A and B are shown apart, each in its own frame.
Chain A
């Protein structure tokens, strides 16, 4: 299977404060990966590095086999931001307008959308079961529905990989389950590679194929037993102690 994301010995620090030290992992085509970790562990920073918004202090990142410094195919990388539209809830735009906006790379600079772009927009909304809400203002949709519109906005470009930053924040339990089911369906039916940053280890672990845990500047791969152990001991021991045990048997700088 081809590598979609390759992170090699990446270190990063904000000023003199180190966030990661020699982190490495690979994501393969068709993977559904969850990156978990406590608040402040650096999950969102890792996403910013993957989006090229921050540059690593050392190490290298490759997206779709291209060095991130020279990467140009950003439309192939779908990104769903944290909190969706919560800060922009009164923005006067319909679901359809928001999804269509992401077709820029296909429409072109200073050009207007054509019939084919309208059909792609419609199809994308159908994929996330939101076609019936295409003419609704984004502010009139529930948190879960807004998140689906964000997914449709990414899917409209037929991305090779989708990066999600805390996709379940601010949505109710039923909508969270429905969102995970939708992501699983997209992953299985379309082969879409998904990398999701989340602290919702309990529910996410039932759906993803790989779980990476970020803590104390290191990244470790957790298997199903370790996740169950983590969940059952949640309030008894700090995660750090068990991660050190895990690291004892596995090189955290290695290629997962």
Chain B
């Protein structure tokens, strides 16, 4: 296929598929803990890290990772202090992150480089970034498998998980770091402004079909990989921005699934009446 003759497209597929595997692993826990907007807050805050990295002359992804970790720990700390209004913690950190990114971006000399983080540039991945994504993907997959039952129970019922003996604080801390790191690298590829969609949409699609938690996790990954592969093909042949195309395909599929299920339910209801 002509598309795979280009080195940058081969990299885009490798990085895209790796991210499509790890983002739903984080996404399903985020969705089930009712913190769907956390991806948005972290990715927006990552922009402050990107700007700081560009100003200080260090790799912007490393800057984004540092900013994301600080933001994620900040969200967790505020969430604990006001548990009944935990979503407020996301709004507070997002506001602070966007504000800081706005101020720092005024000092960035190469505006084009900064802007590439807004909508991502999966076809402009460097060797270092590809290795970083591969290492982070391995770490996230390993942690998700090892902490599978702990994350499941905490997402289901944090209080009972604590009573069952699960070290809730430790697991939440590890998950917070994994979320921050995943969002940082994903912001570079699919873009900071749309990362949360990729975290939520495949999970939303999978929840329409999953007959168990395990199935929902596997379906989420399958949907994310499907959206990424189709999105990259479409972006290449139709000359579209890859990040936005991937997310739009996901949203389109979700709407289609919801619509199809509604039609099916009506047909079944009519058949039962007959």
Chain A interface (Cβ within 8 Å of chain B)? 51, 53, 74-75, 77, 79, 81, 88, 90-94, 97-98, 100-105, 107, 109-110, 112-113, 135, 137, 153, 157
> Is A79 within 8 A of B160, CB to CB?
yes
Residue of B161, B167, B212 near A92 (CB, 8 A) is B212
> Is B163 within 8 A of A74, CB to CB?
yes
Which residue among B152, B164, B216 has the maximum number of chain A CB atoms within 10 Å of its CB? B164
> Is B156 within 8 A of A75, CB to CB?
no
Please name 17 further chain A to chain B contacts, defined as beta carbons within 8 Å, in addition to the given A79-B160, A135-B211, A153-B160, sorted by A numbering. Answer: A51-B159, A51-B163, A53-B159, A74-B165, A75-B164, A81-B159, A91-B156, A93-B152, A97-B212, A101-B153, A101-B164, A103-B164, A104-B150, A104-B153, A104-B166, A109-B150, A110-B147
Given A101-B152, A107-B149, A137–B211 Cβ distance below 8 Å? Answer: yes
A147 to B99, CA, bound (A): 47
Show 29 residue pairs from A and B whose CB-CB distance is below 8 angstroms, ordered by the A residue: A51-B159, A74-B165, A75-B165, A79-B160, A81-B159, A81-B160, A88-B157, A91-B32, A91-B156, A92-B206, A92-B215, A93-B156, A94-B213, A97-B152, A97-B213, A100-B149, A102-B160, A102-B164, A103-B164, A104-B150, A104-B161, A104-B164, A104-B165, A105-B165, A109-B166, A110-B146, A110-B147, A113-B149, A157-B164
Size class of the B contact interface (CB-based, 8 Å)? 20 to 34
Q: Is B214 an interface residue (CB 8 A)?
A: yes
Chain A: CB-nearest residue to B145: A112
The count of A-to-B residue pairs whose CB atoms sit within 8 angstroms is 77
Interface of B is mostly: helix
Q: Return B104 CB to nearest CB of chain A, in Å.
A: 39
> Is A92 within 8 A of B164, CB to CB?
no
A109 to B170, CA, bound (A): 11
> Is A93 within 8 A of B164, CB to CB?
no
Contacts of A98 in B (CB 8 A): 156
Q: Return B11 CB to nearest CB of chain A, in Å.
A: 33
Residue of A101, A102, A107, A137 near B212 (CB, 8 A) is A137
What sequence of 0s and 1s flags, for each residue 160-189 of chain B, a beta carbon within 8 Å of any chain A beta carbon?
111111110000000000000000000000
